[in-house]
Structure 1
């Protein structure tokens, strides 16, 4: 029986050393594709706690949440089923190291970001003015 409600996820747009942190997905869906770090919210966890945990698990980075960027709820955004993602703009700290569901971690400039998994290019496009604002102050 299919789930009766969407699953809650989080994603992070992370700025580190003037670049955007992306992971290369280790597992399906979109295995091998670049994506924003993120994942499912655990029971009893806030979305803020979840994004901090997921980023640490996938990239080895700690983050400072700058702001809520938006909520993405298009039913077809994830081939595994309907997910709703709460997306945060964050600043990264530390040395990136792939772990958990990430095969690799990449730091790319906005101009170098290729086609990504899920709706993550849309998220980056929608966040561009916020990202540019932070980058201009670095």
Structure 2
């Protein structure tokens, strides 16, 4: 199942994370994102999913990486916030900007810390 996620940083270098409100990963922190709907491009899915989960409007950029978590094939893209108001929505129980140094203090989805550690800052 094709999914997308977004790596979004603010001006202070903090990363946008959502706390999953539903399975899979309920209660864990992850990048915002979700399933690509039929007929939708990855970029369209990133824009829709980020708006639904965080209230923010984004412009997707280049591919940050791909992760396989069967049955999910997750394509994570860098994205830039261009508007909106940060608030948890859709299947997100919470949403927040997290400093890189504090990522290890949160219960993260499997493999997320390693994935983020490999990205340029």
Deviates more, 1:92-101 or 1:38-47: 92-101
TM-score (norm 2): 0.88
Q: Establish whether residue 118 from structure 1 lines up as the match of residue 110 from structure 2.
A: yes
Aligned residues: 117
Following TM superposition, where does structure 1 have runs of at least 4 consecutive aligned residues deviating by more than 3 angstroms? none
Q: Give per-residue Cα distances to partners, 1:47-98, cap 9 Å, x unaligned.
A: 111011100000000112232112222xxx2xxx421111101122332100
TM-score (norm 1): 0.78
Gaps of 5+ in 1: 1-6, 133-138
- 1:103 corresponds, among 67, 72, 93, to 93
Q: What RMSD, in angstroms, separates the aligned Cα atoms of the two structures?
A: 1.5
Higher strand share: 2
Q: Give per-residue Cα distances to partners, 1:93-126, cap 9 Å, x unaligned.
A: 3321000010111111111113411332232122
* Bigger Cα Rg: 1
